[in-house]
Amino acid sequence: MDKGQAINKAKAFFTFDLMVLPWLIKIFFVLGLVVLLLVALAYPFLMAFAGGQFQFGGCLVGILASLLTLVFGSIAWRLYCEVLIVLFKIHEGIQSLRKPDPPAQPQ
């Protein structure tokens, strides 16, 4: 990359024409899934010992809550990340419309 391209990228970054977050969203998605998995794994134990002593019914409720968290939490997290990516794709589309077209080459 030459000096002119570096200056253009820096200018685009500081004027918010270059979006950094779209590739970060993919990383946040994976991290969010890991957090959901850890929470879902903790539910049965937290519910089983909620009253200070082991309760089998609480463990069953915790297992059900963990399954619901894995299924619906993963779907909700995926939808949220997809909405953010779509918004950034719309932004990219608008930015490409703002750029002037090069002049047509005579044939």
Helix H, strand E, coil C: the string for the chain is: CCHHHHHHHHHHHHCCCCCCHHHHHHHHHHHHHHHHHHHHHHHHHHHHCCCCCCCHHHHHHHHHHHHHHHHHHHHHHHHHHHHHHHHHHHHHHHHHHHCCCCCCCCC
The answer on pLDDT for 17 being more than 80 is: no
Mean pLDDT of 83-92: 87
Residue 67 dihedral angles phi and psi, to the nearest 5°:
-65, -45
63 vs 11, residue with greater confidence? 63
Reading the block at residue 91, the tokens are 């932004």
Is this prediction's pTM over 0.85? no
**What pLDDT shows up at residue 47?**
78
The answer on pLDDT for 5 being more than 90 is: no
Mean pLDDT of 51-59: 70
Nearest 5°: CA angle at 7, between 1 and 28?
80
Reported as a single tens digit per residue, the pLDDT across 64-73 is 889 999 999 9
Q: How many angstroms separate the CA atoms of 21 and 14, rounded?
A: 14
- Return the percentage of the chain with pLDDT > 90, whole number: 26
Mean pLDDT of 29-37: 95
